[in-house]
Amino acid sequence: MKKYWWLGLVFIGAVILPLVIGEFWVHVAVEILIMGLFAVSFNMIFGYMGQLSFGHAAFYGVGAYATGILLVKASVPLPICLVASMIAAGICALIFGYFCVRLTGIYFAILTLAFGQLMYYIIFQWYSFTGGDDGLQGIVPPDFLFGATNYYYFTLGIVTAALIAMWYISRSPFGYTMRAIRDNADRTKFVGINVRKYMLINFVVAAMFAGLAGGLLGPFNRSIAPDLCNWHQSGIPVFMTVIGGPLGFLGPMIGSVIYTFLMAFVTGFTEYWPMVIGLIIILVVLFIPGGVLGLVEAKAEIFRSKHMASGAEESGHTESP
Amino acid sequence: MDISLIFAQFMSGLSRGMMLFLIASGLSLIFGVMNILNFAHATLWLAGAYFCYTFWSLMQDYGFGMWVSIFLAALSLAAIGWVIEVVLIRRVYNRDLSEQLLLTYGLILVIGDLIKLTWGVEDKFIARPPLVASPVFLFGVPFDSYFIFVILIGFAVAFGLWYFLKKTRYGHIVRAAVFSREMVSALGIPIPRIYTGVFVLGIFIAGLAGAVQAPVGSITLGMDMAVIVQAFCVVVIGGFGSLLGTFVGSMIVGEVYAFSILLWPQGALVLIFIVTAFILIVRPWGLFGTPMRA
């Protein structure tokens, strides 16, 4: 546990953050946390199960709509709404996932995409329940969360708890089973593990955390729209994960920091944000395939081997998560 | 429901299906041969429509303007496709699926914004020449005469691709490359050149499809977003890399859409995704495809 002391520093930094930055950047920080949670949950499927989901936004959207509808139409307390978001996303994932885990590779990607679009068009067309393409307005958080800073601390607490939960899942025997399935599904099957069942559980758990992220978004934005479910939205966690590095647990979170910060910065002076991020995506894919974490680790490796070669002592260095 | 209404819906489904076939055939060809799923296909299709508009507005005083523009737009897109293949796609042949998808996803964003920069945000219209401007009556049912042209182009592209793949030497090489890259390159045939050729051909057809679409209605930013997933559906239903499958898949999606608009308008698009998901679950390689090599 000792080698993760710097995570404590990051957390303390996150707690102090709103005291030193302006309100605009607090908003950006909330978005970083929400999108980061979304991306880390995506990586449970991508990094740990080895399947590319291009419909993860469906669960994010379902979560957002569950909280939004309960808050607006029934004035249910927010914490209960968030639990409902997780359950709603989980149920959806159970239905979709039942079919998705039968496929792998490109078929998995396209089936998740098709289910994602199915969800999108259901929300888009169902005016009486979801508000259709008008979206859902007036999603107001409770009074004590009204200000940006308060909502930031609320989100920070929930996202941290969710990350710790996912971290434990990834370190548990279940998490290692997922890695085994990723690396060789056939062998895992021969060991006596029900591969499809494990994949389905993982799919559902990942979707529940995506639903939680979606639930946090509505009261923060005060409104939601069906575009949250569109396949376009599903590309964002893919990119965050690739830029941050899929093999580190926090890689997608780092990707979210980079993506969301850049977006806030770039949209400040040009409306052509998609072009900027599109170029960055292309450059990252072409030139830094391992993501930022991969890059840092490779550099650290070079540094370390040079260190060794020069005959210096040093043995305390350890890998970062 | 009387017979003429059914006929009208059938014709509308047929022309919609032909449009989808024009888009999906290039997508399917590129995927079947190169194993690369081109997310940006519909965005290039949209670029084809805008190119057609520009050429047309330069030549609008002449009656043949629109026909020539359609051809020129397709050629322009072929050139753009060549640049994209040589500069970008070639570098990711052997990379992970996620990286290939992300690359073409990035292309969507860049090309989409380039279109917005070049042509602005207003919708664009093309005035059709008199030959295809007014409706014709088929069995007493009015039918947009331009769609007859669309259907003819669809059949022409289908026949042309079939002839190319089955009857010409280059077509045989392309089909051989689908089954074994190693064997084809062992025979001394340069695989990268084949791939570039296939990609350019696919984007040429996408550009042609966009240009053919342009005079149908207005040309609008963001039109590509709904089209690309429908094209994916077509390819999935028919089977990756199968020309016949893509054709049948397009007709299924076109007709399902046309008839569900009549019976259950809100559910039309939902139904298409249900059909797609069903096919993927029971027969992932599609109706006419063959199970893929790993």
| Interchain CB contact of B109 with A (< 8 Å) | yes
**What ipTM was assigned to the predicted interfaces of this complex?**
0.85
Residues of chain A found within 8 Å of residue B112, distances taken between Cβ atoms: 274-275, 278
Residue A315 lies in a domain: no
Picking from B88, B116, B281, the nearest residue to A282 by CB comes out as B88
Return the number of CB contacts < 8 Å for A and B: 116
Structure tokens at A192: 């006596």
Residue for token pair 């979709």: A96
Handedness of CA B165, B170, B174, B179 (dihedral sign): positive
| CA distance linking residue A270 with residue A50, whole number of Å | 37
A53-67 average pLDDT score? 92
| Interchain CB contact of B271 with A (< 8 Å) | no
| CA distance linking residue A274 with residue A312, whole number of Å | 48
| CA distance linking residue A93 with residue A83, whole number of Å | 15
Number of independent structural domains in chain A:
1
Task: Indicate yes or no: CB of B102 within 8 angstroms of CB of A239.
Answer: yes
A243-257 average pLDDT score? 86
| Interchain CB contact of B173 with A (< 8 Å) | no
* Residue of B110, B116, B237 to mutate, interface with A, max A Cβ within 10 Å: B110
B184-210 average pLDDT score? 90
CB within 8 A of A303, min separation 6: which ones? none
Residue B293, pLDDT > 70, answer no
Give the residue on B whose Cα is nearest the Cα of A120: B270
Domain of A132 in residue numbering reads as: 2-309
| Cα–Cα–Cα angle for A66, A72, A74, rounded to 5 degrees | 85
Restricting to B residues 62-101, those with a Cβ less than 8 Å away from any Cβ of A are: 88, 91-92, 95, 97-99, 101
pLDDT value of position A205: 95
Task: Indicate yes or no: CB of A110 within 8 angstroms of CB of B117.
Answer: no
Task: Indicate yes or no: CB of B92 within 8 angstroms of CB of A285.
Answer: yes
Q: Which of A317, A199, A254, A271 is nearest to A39 (CA)?
A: A254
What pLDDT, in 10s, does the model give residues B91-124? 888 787 878 888 999 999 999 999 999 988 888 8
Given the DSSP bridges, would you call strands A136-137 and B141-143 parallel, antiparallel or unpaired?
Answer: unpaired
Q: Which of B43, B20, B57 is nearest to B231 (CA)?
A: B20
Please report how many Cα atoms fall inside a 13 Å half-sphere around the Cα of residue A27, on the Cβ side: 12
Burial readout A73-92 (b: 16 or more C-beta within 10 A, e: otherwise): eeeeebeebbbbbbebbbbb
* H or E element, residue A10: helix A5-20
Q: Are the CB atoms for A285 and B89 separated by under 8 Å?
A: no
Q: Which of B11, B9, B20 is nearest to B246 (CA)?
A: B20
Give the residue on B whose Cα is nearest the Cα of A114: B273
CATH number at A117 reads 1.10.3470
Handedness of CA B70, B75, B77, B78 (dihedral sign): positive
Structure tokens at A108: 């998995």
Residue A321 lies in a domain: no
CB within 8 A of B34, min separation 6: which ones? B89, B93, B195, B198, B199
Residue A245 lies in a domain: yes
Q: Are the CB atoms for A64 and A225 separated by under 8 Å?
A: no
Q: Which of A17, A10, A40, A8 is nearest to A209 (CA)?
A: A40
| Interchain CB contact of B281 with A (< 8 Å) | yes
Residues of chain B found within 8 Å of residue A294, distances taken between Cβ atoms: none
In this prediction the pTM is 0.86
Q: Which residue has the higher pLDDT, A203 or B229?
A: A203
* Residue of B93, B98, B107 to mutate, interface with A, max A Cβ within 10 Å: B98
Task: Indicate yes or no: CB of B106 within 8 angstroms of CB of A281.
Answer: yes
| Interchain CB contact of B279 with A (< 8 Å) | no
Residues of chain B found within 8 Å of residue A105, distances taken between Cβ atoms: 97, 294
Task: Indicate yes or no: CB of A121 within 8 angstroms of CB of B274.
Answer: no
| Interchain CB contact of A225 with B (< 8 Å) | no
What pLDDT, in 10s, does the model give residues A94-141? 999 998 888 888 888 888 988 998 899 888 888 778 777 778 888 888
Task: Indicate yes or no: CB of B98 within 8 angstroms of CB of A118.
Answer: no
**First and final CA of chain A: distance in angstroms?**
11
Residue A320 lies in a domain: no
| CA distance linking residue B285 with residue B174, whole number of Å | 20
pLDDT value of position B41: 92
pLDDT value of position A61: 93
Q: Which of A20-24, A242-246, A294-298, B227-231 has the lowest mean pLDDT?
A: A294-298
Residue A285 lies in a domain: yes
CB within 8 A of A100, min separation 6: which ones? A53, A108, A111, A112, A115, A203
Task: Indicate yes or no: CB of A99 within 8 angstroms of CB of B277.
Answer: yes
Residue for token pair 């303007």: B65
| pLDDT confidence band for B294 (50 / 70 / 90) | very low
Structure tokens at A180: 């085994």
Q: Are the CB atoms for A283 and A239 separated by under 8 Å?
A: no
Q: In a 10 Å sphere around its CB, with 0-12 CB exposed, 13-18 middle and 19+ buried, how is residue A16 labelled?
A: exposed
Residue A41 lies in a domain: yes
Residues of chain B found within 8 Å of residue A58, distances taken between Cβ atoms: none
Q: Which of B216, B31, B70 is nearest to A110 (CA)?
A: B31
pLDDT value of position B68: 86
Residue A104 lies in a domain: yes
Residue A316 lies in a domain: no
Residue A309, pLDDT > 70, answer no
Residue A313, pLDDT > 70, answer no
